[in-house]
Amino acid sequence: MFKYLLLLFIPFILQAQTPESPIEVDKSLIPQYVSLEENNVYDVEIIVFAYTNQLPNIQTYTNKAIFDDSTALDLATKPDDLNFVNIVTNDEPDLSSDDPDTKAGQRNYTVPMTIEKDDQLALTWFNHIEDDFKFTAIWEKLLKQSNIIPLVHRSWRQVETPYTDPVFVKIINSFDDENQIDNSKSIVNENQIKESTSIVEDNLSNDFFVVTDEDQLTDSFIMPDYTLSGMVALSKGRYTHFENKLNLYRVAIDEDGNILKNMVFSLNEKKQIKADELNYFDSPWIGSIVKITEFKGEVDLKEVIEDE
């Protein structure tokens, strides 16, 4: 009897844990406009940092599994020709143009015709510029900590995605951007790594390659010290959750200063969060500070109307 009753309630349990209208993200159409009437849109800001702890015994430590971030979104900044907020009209899009660029633009950014007139559309899935970051003071404070190295500072706008199938955003750090890693805190600096491997020099660019398989980490391929890769996701089921799947690559050296190999640590944590609150994710080697802020659209909508 108990099993029978349980089977009857399973559909209701599943329904309570999944969003009513799961978002399907088409990578080919990013960035995308979504209805603020039908979707929750958030600004996400994150700082990822590493601790300068002494590395464990290289003979006994087992590297953490490297997360496969090949399906994560690699976001770019907002295109200049797109507004933060648009107003929906019921006019049919003109797809008769012979101009390939015009057709592509209409295909990518056309407003869904199922949305009611005068609904606000928010642009999503794009990176904010540094001028819009809110954690600048936190980043600068972390830079002054002797036992911490801040690795990544990012902010972007996105729509909520399903808890059962979240959309991940790719997170990697670069070694030649404005937020340079302070190698003076590291036991291995960039020059030492360059002298010890023939490939690392190519890795020190904005789009440097990050290994996705532990078997690729060999004596001839050493990731720069404090390399970060992985992905994060904001999702909604019954509650809002944020998930970190991040890898930190450290470089082990012997007593004579010879580079031995990479040691891989991870931050793999998913927990419930609330909007407008600072949320901390932590491990002995790597941590993150995250805040989500719901985007309502009123301010940007006013700016759009004044410009027209």
Could you report the per-residue pLDDT of 188-242, keeping only the tens digit for each? 555 544 444 333 334 433 344 555 566 556 555 788 999 999 999 999 999 999 9
Please determine, for residue 257, whether its predicted confidence score (pLDDT) is greater than 50. Answer: yes
Split at pLDDT 50, 70, 90, the class of 181 is low
At 13 the pLDDT is 35
Could you report the per-residue pLDDT of 53-84, keeping only the tens digit for each? 999 999 999 999 999 999 999 999 999 999 99
CA 183/CA 180 separation, integer angstroms: 9
For residues 153 and 211, the model is more confident at 153
> Structurally, how many domains does the chain consist of?
1
SS (H, E, C) the chain: CHHHHHHHHHHHHHHHHCCCCCCCCCHHHCCEEEECCCCCEEEEEEEEEEECCCCCCCCCCCCCCCCCCCCCECCCECCCCCCCEEECCCCCCCCCCCCHHHHHHHHHHCCCCCCCCCCEEEEECEECCHHHCCCHHHHHHHHCCCCEEEEEEEEEEEECEECCCCCEEECCCCCCCCCCCCHHHCCCCHHHHHHHCCCHHHHCCCCCCCCCCHHHCECCECCCCCEEEEEEEEEECCCEEEEEEEEEEEEEECCCCCEEEEEEEEEEEEEECCCCCCEEEECCCEEEEEEEEECCCHHHHHHHHHHC
Residue partners of 222: CB distance under 8 A and separation at least 6: 193, 196, 197, 200, 251, 259, 261, 262
- What rounded mean pLDDT belongs to the chain? 77
Split at pLDDT 50, 70, 90, the class of 105 is very low
Please determine, for residue 85, whether its predicted confidence score (pLDDT) is greater than 60. Answer: yes
Bridge-based pairing of strands 286-294 and 279-282 is antiparallel
At 116 the pLDDT is 54
- Cα→Cα distances 134→108, 138, 139, 181, 288, Å: 30, 9, 10, 20, 15
Read off the pLDDT of each residue in 248-269 and give the average, rounded to a whole number.
93
Q: Which two tokens stand for residue 46?
A: 């994150």
Please determine, for residue 35, whether its predicted confidence score (pLDDT) is greater than 90. Answer: yes
Could you report the per-residue pLDDT of 109-135, keeping only the tens digit for each? 444 545 555 678 999 999 999 999 999
Q: Which domain holds residue 67?
A: 2-307
Please determine, for residue 88, whether its predicted confidence score (pLDDT) is greater than 70. Answer: no
For residues 152 and 18, the model is more confident at 152
What percent of the chain shows pLDDT beyond 90?
Answer: 55
Q: Single out the residue of 224, 251, 267 nearest to residue 66, CA to CA.
A: 267
